[in-house]
């Protein structure tokens, strides 16, 4: 029962608030901006580790945090002021990043089965159940008819389920358990660049000078934070604090 308690926490933080808000907020933003906002996860991990575990910031970590959030403000502030960037979508993506960061920290210390496959499956099952309940309550299934689902949608569903969720999340969870949350989230280096380029090439999304500068500054800040040395204070009291 204790295992399922921790699985519920992971299911909510990583899938409901993390991926759920990410998917919901994406409909208000371009794929490139979505990826850039999501790339701040390692920055939030550093901040939450300081708040929860009192892990002190090194000088390089502080520089990385300032650079990362400076780039974030450069990206977000002017666009929101002119109405070019949805405030709702931006807030959803920021909350999603914070929740994913907390779930990453929690998962590295959660009391779950030793088996990586069993642990990741429990988190995915609980998260999937909660998302299904929420979407049902919101009435998202009322207009769903199987006969109207296109073959492209089915292919996308199979790909997202098999490759992104099962294989991708299992690999991510394995990295969290054997390394550190910051190292496991190094996807933040790659995904924004790929998303911006694909959004421009496939969806004809505009790439502005501000976007390029903000992307460069954010990724530089993330790189500094992830590679910065930090004191290891993840002792038993930290574990007990998370569990409680």
Question: pLDDT tens digit string along 121-179?
Answer: 999 999 999 999 999 998 887 777 766 778 888 898 898 888 888 888 888 888 888 87
Which pLDDT belongs to residue 78? Answer: 64
Which pLDDT belongs to residue 100? Answer: 94
Which pLDDT belongs to residue 154? Answer: 87
User: For the chain, which residues make up each domain, given as ranges?
Assistant: 2-139+151-243
Give the mean pLDDT per block of 10 residues along the chain (244 residues). 89 94 91 83 88 82 85 73 76 94 88 83 93 90 74 86 86 84 76 80 82 84 78 43 44
Which pLDDT belongs to residue 102? Answer: 95
Which pLDDT belongs to residue 80? Answer: 59
pTM of model > 0.85: no
Supply 141's token pair.
């299934």
Supply 23's token pair.
């998917």
Side-chain-facing half-sphere of 115: CA atoms under 13 Å? 6
Which pLDDT belongs to residue 64? Answer: 85
Average pLDDT over the chain, rounded to whole?
Answer: 82
- For residue 232, the tally of other CB atoms under 10 A from its CB is 9
Side-chain-facing half-sphere of 35: CA atoms under 13 Å? 21
Which pLDDT belongs to residue 235? Answer: 40
Collapsing DSSP to helix, strand or coil, 117 comes out as helix
Which pLDDT belongs to residue 231? Answer: 52
Query: Under a CB-based contact definition with an 8 Å cutoff, are residues 68 and 218 in contact?
Result: yes
């Amino acid at each position: 029962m204790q295992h399922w308690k921790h699985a519920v926490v992971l299911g909510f933080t990583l899938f409901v608030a993390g991926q759920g808000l990410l998917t919901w907020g994406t409909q208000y933003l371009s794929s490139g901006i979505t990826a850039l906002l999501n790339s701040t996860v390692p920055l939030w991990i550093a901040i939450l580790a300081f708040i929860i575990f009192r892990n002190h910031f090194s000088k390089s970590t502080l520089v990385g945090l300032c650079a990362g959030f400076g780039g974030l403000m450069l990206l977000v502030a002017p666009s929101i002021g002119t109405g070019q960037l949805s405030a709702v979508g931006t807030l959803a993506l920021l909350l999603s990043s914070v929740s994913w960061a907390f779930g990453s920290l929690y998962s590295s210390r959660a009391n779950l089965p030793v088996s990586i496959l069993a642990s990741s499956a429990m988190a995915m099952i609980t998260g999937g159940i909660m998302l299904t309940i929420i979407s049902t309550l919101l009435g998202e299934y009322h207009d769903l008819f199987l006969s109207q689902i296109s073959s492209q949608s089915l292919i996308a569903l199979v790909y997202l389920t098999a490759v992104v969720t099962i294989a991708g999340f299992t690999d991510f969870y394995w990295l969290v358990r054997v390394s550190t949350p910051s190292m496991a989230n190094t996807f933040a280096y790659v995904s924004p660049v790929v998303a911006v380029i694909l959004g421009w090439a496939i969806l004809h999304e505009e790439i502005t000078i501000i976007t390029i500068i903000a992307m460069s500054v954010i990724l530089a800040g993330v790189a500094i934070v992830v590679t910065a040395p930090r004191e290891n204070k993840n002792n038993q009291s930290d574990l007990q604090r998370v569990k409680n």
